[in-house]
Amino acid sequence: MADKLPEHPDFLWHNPDPKPSYDAIIVGGGGHGLATAYFLAKNHGMTNIAVLEKGWLAGGNMARNTTIIRSNYLWDESAAMYEHALKLWETLPEELEYDFLFSQRGVMNLAHTLGDVRESMRRVGANQLNGVDAEWLDPKQVKELCPILNISDNIRYPVMGATYQPRAGIAKHDHVAWAFARKCDELGVDIIQNCEVTGFVKDGNRVTGVKTNRGTINTEKVGLCAAGHSSVLAEMAGFRLPIQSHPLQALVSELHEPVHPTVVMSNHVHVYVSQAHKGELVMGAGVDSYNGYGQRGSFHVIEHQMAAAVELFPIFARAHVLRTWGGVVDTTLDASPIVGTTPVENMFVNCGWGTGGFKGTPSAGYTFAHTIATGAPHELNAPFALERFETGALIDEHGAAAVAH
């Protein structure tokens, strides 16, 4: 586990001034925006493009997530999307020539009630049919894989078993962003930081430019990759998104010896834990219930999560919370993303990844780049169209025991 961390890199990309015009502009310089730009350049030969970031590169949710990567979603559409991402995660370090420490240490999703057990077994079956590696573990097997878990039956939410995906794991999130950024830069993509979009220029219903705090930039196409701020951009462009932005919190402990060999998630008590390469215990909570753009949430959410974590992992009782933080996540009512066209011509949107966007980064980039380049969705993201809220063809992952990320 305690693999050697890569050396801190030198500057991996330039800081160009915006050109007067581009073939495509990606709004949002996080993981999804950078991955989209990378695949636009690599797969579709579009190199006269720019990524605009209002702050610094990968300073939003890309810097705030708990880095869990898995593909064990229930529904066919989701399994295809996330499994495609997982396969890309497996090949990207070589392709990007950057070892961002993708560690396939497995992810366990605990079951605490009979309902959980039935849902979990159903999900294992669905996963296997979709070619996703998944197995069911009884409590004894859970304990063998993760000895620090408390599997006694006298706790409030006893562990009745777990699903396990061996190919799942974690990666160094910052390094993932830097890996994409370096390749984008090499391919000729302009990465423009401190460039906030303040409006759009339209000719009728067609977008023709982007207004920013660094001037107006003309463009043929616009791709929105702004996560929690997607609604704000959509409003500027004149359409609505079925998105609610919530604070989502996470925390780390101080550094510890390796004690936690895998990743453990519990949807029922809403806690998920891994141990980072350096040794911090990394934990994520559920979203705060209220809408918020503040990148912070309420402390009782942290308290609730810690109580659950200590009950499941008694050894954590003597660890300390070193740091807590929040990010703004863009949630949809079916807990599935929106990747596709918008009511505005030549404007495309990738949003709604909610609490689980990190793991989807490669797929989001891959399918969104296809959508922007060709004007039509890839078969993987076709079901994730904005229109599904009108047709009723929702992809309801909320009820599918995969809501925690």
Give the binding site for another protein (CB under 8 A).
Answer: 229, 231-232, 240-245, 289-294, 298-300, 332-333, 389-392
Identify which of residues 106 and 247 has a Cβ nearer to another protein in the complex: 247
Residue 349 DSSP one-character state: E
Angstrom distance (rounded) from CA 112 to CA 161: 7
Angstrom distance (rounded) from CA 272 to CA 284: 5
Nearest residue to 226 via CA among 379, 338, 367, 373: 338
Residue 124 DSSP one-character state: H
Q: What minimum distance in Å lies between the beta carbon of 198 and another protein? A: 13
Q: What minimum distance in Å lies between the beta carbon of 329 and another protein? A: 12
3-class SS string, 144-172: HHCCCCCCCCCCCCCCCEEEEECCCEECC
For 83, residues 6+ apart whose C-beta sits below 8 A from its C-beta are: 71, 130, 131, 132
Task: State the angle between helix axes of 76-95 and 114-129 in degrees (0 to 180), rounded to the nearest 10.
Answer: 60
Count of residues in the chain: 405
Identify which of residues 337 and 365 has a Cβ nearer to another protein in the complex: 337
Q: What minimum distance in Å lies between the beta carbon of 291 and another protein? A: 5
Q: What minimum distance in Å lies between the beta carbon of 346 and another protein? A: 22
Residue 359 DSSP one-character state: T
Identify which of residues 48 and 298 has a Cβ nearer to another protein in the complex: 298
Identify which of residues 64 and 70 has a Cβ nearer to another protein in the complex: 64
Identify which of residues 56 and 293 has a Cβ nearer to another protein in the complex: 293
Determine whether 376 is exposed, middle or buried from the number of CB atoms within 10 Å of its CB (0-12, 13-18, 19+): exposed
Identify which of residues 277 and 398 has a Cβ nearer to another protein in the complex: 398
Q: What minimum distance in Å lies between the beta carbon of 336 and another protein? A: 12
Do 135 and 121 form a contact (C-beta atoms < 8 A)?
Answer: no
Q: What minimum distance in Å lies between the beta carbon of 298 and another protein? A: 5
Q: What minimum distance in Å lies between the beta carbon of 278 and another protein? A: 31
Identify which of residues 208 and 230 has a Cβ nearer to another protein in the complex: 230
Do 365 and 226 form a contact (C-beta atoms < 8 A)?
Answer: no
Among all chains, which residue has been given the structure tokens 């009979």? 114
